[in-house]
Each structure stands twice: as structure tokens, then as C-alpha cells.
Chain A
Amino acid sequence: DAGITQSPRHKVTETGTPVTLRCHQTENHRYMYWYRQDPGHGLRLIHYSYGVKDTDKGEVSDGYSVSRSKTEDFLLTLESATSSQTSVYFCAISAGGSETQYFGPGTRLLVL
């Protein structure tokens, strides 16, 4: 998985609780992305980062926030989890804005 790890790999939480997912890379790539994957929707971009402390919204950003304080780490936070955020979350990295994206192993999140 191209030097990308995600933690936790599985999580069950309750509605209304905060959740933070972590993506860690060892490739020193500038760009990092968070996607969610749901049946019938493929992968949809939540947020992305183009450098330390530089982030922007993607297609489905409502209810999510991100932070990147180091090149190697990109955090995704659900401030108050809802059942609609039950999904599989994937982190991806790329060397540049027009370069190939490589995906991590995913985090399966269940919000009860």
C-alpha cells in the first residue's frame, strides 16, 4: 500500500461522539486525500491537503474536518458522528496535484 497506514482499521462508535481517523505516510508526498466509499457511489473526496497546514474541501465535506501538522500525518475528524457517516474511509497520497494517487488499506467505521 505504497507506505501508507491508516488507524484504526475498524471502529464502532455511537451517534454524537467525536471520531478521529489517522493517515500516516512514509513517502514524503506533498498531497494527501481522504475519501469515503459507499455502495453504488464509488469513492468520493472528503478533504485533501496540498501541504502542511494547507487543506481544502472536496465533494462531500459537510460534517468532516481535517488537519495536517506534519507532512506524514493527515487526520480526519467527525466532530459529532452520525449514522450517515457509516462508511469505509480511505486515505490516498500523491507526489503532485496531477500525479497518480495511491491508496491506504482503509478504515471501516460503523456509527450506531
Chain B
Amino acid sequence: GENVEQHPSTLSVQEGDSAVIKCTYSDSASNYFPWYKQELGKGPQLIIDIRSNVGEKKDQRIAVTLNKTAKHFSLHITETQPEDSAVYFCAASPHNNNDMRFGAGTRLTVKP
């Protein structure tokens, strides 16, 4: 099955700086890559996703890039704000979503 590795496990940035979280996957059949944000005591919330027919997707301060050849994808958050502090999870899934695998998570802290 798919194996997803996520780095770093913790990330601390100053407010206004950019944050980058990277994930690698093993199954070349994976073609759907969502990113989730989880705040303390809550369920994961989808923040952005990308499918393998595009290389980059942007939504305001958040962007995701995908390199299918190298089997890695990254989350970029620009102009970070304290409310961006949370745990972020990447995931990879083949065409059938029933085998979605998650990374172990990155705890992002944005210092005011």
C-alpha cells in the first residue's frame, strides 16, 4: 500500500514569514493529494487539494505544488498569521479514495 512521509514534524515561524511542509509518497498510482488543518480538539478540515493532472494550485495565502516524477508534494503558506497555528496533515490516495494514507502531521506554530 501507499506510504506517506511528512517533514518537518514541528515548524516554528515568525508572523509574516512563509512556511513550507513537504510530503513524499511511494505509490505512483496515487493521483489525489489533499491537505488538512487540525486545530486542538477538532477534526481535520480540508484546506486545499490537488489532483495529478495539475502541478500547482493556489488559494489566497495557501498553495500546493506537486512533482509526480519525484513523488513529492508541498504545502506553502505565505504571510503566516497566529491563527495558522495548528497541525497540518498531507495525504495521498489512488483513484479509489478508500486507500487514502496520511502523513504523521506537522505542528506549525506562528509566533506573533
Contact = CB atoms under 8 A, between A and B. Distances in A.
B: interface residue count bin:
20 to 34
B102 A42 contact: yes
A: interface residue count bin:
20 to 34
Interface in B22-57: 32, 34, 36, 41-46, 49
Contacts of B105: 42
Contact of A102 (B1, B46, B101): B46
Nearest to B51: A98
A99 B93 CA distance: 10
A48 B44 contact: no
B73 interface: no
Contacts, number: 62
Contact of A97 (B44, B46, B97): B97
Interface stretch (A11-19, A62-70, A103-111): A103-111
B102 A31 contact: no
Given A42-B91, A98-B93, A101-B97, 14 more contacts: A31-B97, A31-B98, A40-B104, A42-B89, A45-B98, A59-B1, A94-B97, A96-B97, A97-B96, A100-B34, A103-B45, A105-B43, A106-B41, A106-B42
Interface of B: 1, 4, 6, 32, 34, 36, 41-46, 49, 89, 91, 93, 95-105
